[in-house]
Structure 1
Amino acid sequence: MSVRSTRSDGIGLPTMSRYDLLLALLPIPLLLGGVVSRLTPVPDPIGIGAGSLPSALLFVYAITAAAPTVTERSA
């Protein structure tokens, strides 16, 4: 069972974990590629494709190097 921690200042908002940050960052390079392709003469498939490469690398990092690990629980 997972437990959600809250901030100590009494607001009650949950803290942001490393995994939440990785999920929030995934679409940013793709969106930037789309914006660049709209603002410059770069074709849409090229801009979005170039933006998807950093997003794909971030995804690979998230599922390999930054993957959650299983810790043993005491009985």
Structure 2
Amino acid sequence: MSTKSGLAVGPVARGTEVTGAMPGMLARNPHIRFVNNRRGHCWLETMFRTAPYVTDPDAPCEDRGRFLAEAGSARRVPA
């Protein structure tokens, strides 16, 4: 994907630069659920879900699209 300015917009997961400061980083970021001091990679799948109406909290949801993030690319790929 790209913006009107032509800059790429895409998924990023970077962890190697924060491993040395893990205890402090976790204290400042309580929303982070997993850290580890080893290098690796992530696999990300996104599901886009919709509801036919929003006036009822029990409205049924349905899957409208599934996408993958390819390694090294800012593009989304249908899953």
TM-score by shorter chain over 0.5: no
Q: Which has the higher helix share?
A: 1
Report which structure shows greater RCO (CA 8 Å, sep ≥6): 2
Q: Which has the higher strand share?
A: 2
TM-score, normalization by structure 1? 0.29
